[in-house]
Chain A
Amino acid sequence: MSALITCSHVDFGYENQDAVMDLTLEIDEGDYFCVLGVNGSGKSTLVKGLLGLIKPTGGSLVVSQELKKTGIGYLPQQTSAQKDFPATVWEVVLSGALGLIGNRPFYRRREKEMALSAMERLGISDLRRRCYRELSGGQQQRVLIARALCAARKMLILDEPVTGLDPQAIQEFYSLVRELNRDGMTIFMVTHDVANVVGQAGKILHLQQKVLFYGSPEEYVKTAEGRGFLGGGAV
């Protein structure tokens, strides 16, 4: 097991205002890592930091060479504009390979094959010509994961992936993520959905600007934060 991302005492912030402070964590290969926290607790800032979209304002963030080569797949929160966007599934999935084409204007066969195999892996090959906006929420989420898989082979970052899905789609989504994780994909997920996550994550980080908890789910449910977030009565 080697660490893909190592943070030690990292701060992230905007304009003199720290959104995340003194964060120390390690994401290892094969991890199933969940970040919990209320709105505005710095979760999205952390995601941007790991993706390299913002620079740490303090501490050190080390991304392994291996991960730099294979890239990080990103599943952003859906925007309202996307829900009625005219694009075929194929167009959306293929756009995941965007990072690989550099300055070339078009996709090569290699990228197209990656997109095809990602669709195969998620069982959406038959949706290829369908319009993205006509799919159900669960299907849309599969399309976006397929897109993320085009960008990465080692690690996926999922930002609030189950928001707006119906309960059945949520369960299907989690079993899909577990499957990807079993196949060796490192998962880093930001979510509100504590109840479902506690049962399956390998590591939990509870964030409230600072780290409130960092450890295994078994320990988490015993802590005051865990009980509070789970609604008091659980476990």
Chain B
Amino acid sequence: MNLILEMLSYPFLARAFMGGILVSLCAALLGVSLVLKRYSMIGDGLSHVSFGALSVAVAIGWAPLAVSVPVVVLAAYFLLRITENSRVKSDAAIAMISAGALAVGIVATSLSTGMATDVNSYMFGSILAMSPSDVRLMVVLSGAVLGLFGFCYNKMFAVTFDENFARAAGVKVSLYNVLIAVLTAVTIVLGMRMMGAMLISSLIIFPAVTSMRIFKSFRGVTVCSGVVSVVCFCVGMTMSYRFSTPAGASIVLVNLAMFGVFWAAARCVGR
């Protein structure tokens, strides 16, 4: 308890906690839909695109967020279209886009001098990256995500479970898909500054997969994902502070451990 109070006495750590909890929550909720729709790789692809866009922005000297948010939103839209269009093999396309964006980012970094520490922190994350304006953006983002799940929960379920049926029932499926993609893109851009481009997709995928071990209803999985994600984030941050380990990696390890616990629990119950 003292440890937590001590951590929160640093303003930058308090900001990191606040922002991180919101991002974890958003990523987990969106993750349920993405994982169930078999779009997990989109999260991973977007984080690489986001890294590329940030590196280029830093190299040229533009504001990183103003460049990367639109680029990643566009990328999200295209990745969704590729996945919907069965003529293109989507896993290959995502892998190509990921590697391409990563390469662009690395080349842009090596061509520009100085600034390398910034890019390094985008790659593996840094709790120092969280500024007050970032936290404000995260509050807006989480408001949008919670609003989507609160007011359109039943439509989200229908769109996730069966797009064709939802479409026949008059739900604007494409609108919801674009909405999910855009919110995911913003979540990734905001989250990767703390978690790092290489690790942010775990925030999207782990909580949903973990919850699916035990919960059998969509509502259960959604609620549990949110809780698991926030708990893992807080534990991971505390451990990172206590043992001086990188924050992003610590959080992913806690998520991995949580998955192990849920998996073992499901095994014991005998499913």
Contacts and interface: CB of A to CB of B under 8 A. Distances in A.
Interface of A: 51, 53, 72, 74, 76-77, 79, 81-82, 85-88, 91-92, 94-96, 98-99, 101, 105-107, 130-131, 133-134, 147, 151
A87 B165 contact: no
Given A51-B168, A53-B167, A86-B212, A91 B219 contact: yes
Given A86-B212, A87-B157, A147-B165, A81 B36 contact: yes
Interface string B16-40: 0000000000000000000011100
Contact of A53 (B36, B168, B219): B168
A131 B216 contact: yes
Contact of A95 (B36, B161, B220): B161
Contacts of A147: 165
User: Which among B37, B151, B162, B221 has the highest number of chain A CB atoms within 10 Å?
Assistant: B162
Given A72-B168, A98-B171, A131-B216, A87 B154 contact: no
A105 B166 CA distance: 15
B155 interface: yes
Most buried by A among B37, B157, B217: B217
Interface of B: 36-38, 150-155, 157-158, 161-162, 164-171, 212, 215-221
Contacts of B165: 74, 76, 95-96, 147
23 contacts: A51-B168, A53-B167, A72-B168, A74-B168, A77-B164, A82-B161, A85-B36, A86-B212, A86-B220, A87-B157, A87-B216, A87-B217, A87-B218, A88-B217, A91-B217, A95-B158, A95-B162, A98-B166, A99-B169, A101-B154, A105-B153, A105-B154, A147-B165
Given A88-B216, A98-B155, 4 more contacts: A76-B164, A98-B169, A105-B150, A131-B217
Contact of A98 (B154, B164, B216): B154
Nearest to A151: B169
Nearest to A74: B168
A122 to B, nearest CB: 17
B37 A81 contact: yes
Contacts of B37: 81
Nearest to A100: B169
A86 B216 contact: yes
Main secondary structure of the interface of B (DSSP, over half): helix
Contacts of B155: 98
B164 A91 contact: no
B162 A82 contact: yes
A85 B222 CA distance: 12
Contacts of A79: 162
B162 A86 contact: no
Contacts of B220: 86
Contacts of A96: 165, 169
A151 B162 CA distance: 14
Contacts of B166: 95, 98
A77 B164 CA distance: 9
Given A74-B168, A81-B38, A92 B154 contact: no
A190 B107 CA distance: 54
B226 to A, nearest CB: 15
Contacts of B36: 81, 85-86
B247 to A, nearest CB: 30
A106 B150 CA distance: 10
A11 B157 CA distance: 34
A106 B157 CA distance: 12
A159 B170 CA distance: 18
Nearest to A71: B169
B177 to A, nearest CB: 14
Contacts of A94: 154
Contact of B152 (A72, A91, A95, A105): A105
Contacts of B164: 74, 76-77
A85 B38 CA distance: 11
A49 to B, nearest CB: 12
A204 to B, nearest CB: 24
A53 B158 CA distance: 17
Nearest to A78: B162
A19 to B, nearest CB: 15
Nearest to B215: A86
Contacts of A106: 153-154
Contacts of B151: 105
Given A74-B164, A81-B38, A105-B150, A95 B157 contact: yes
Nearest to A51: B168
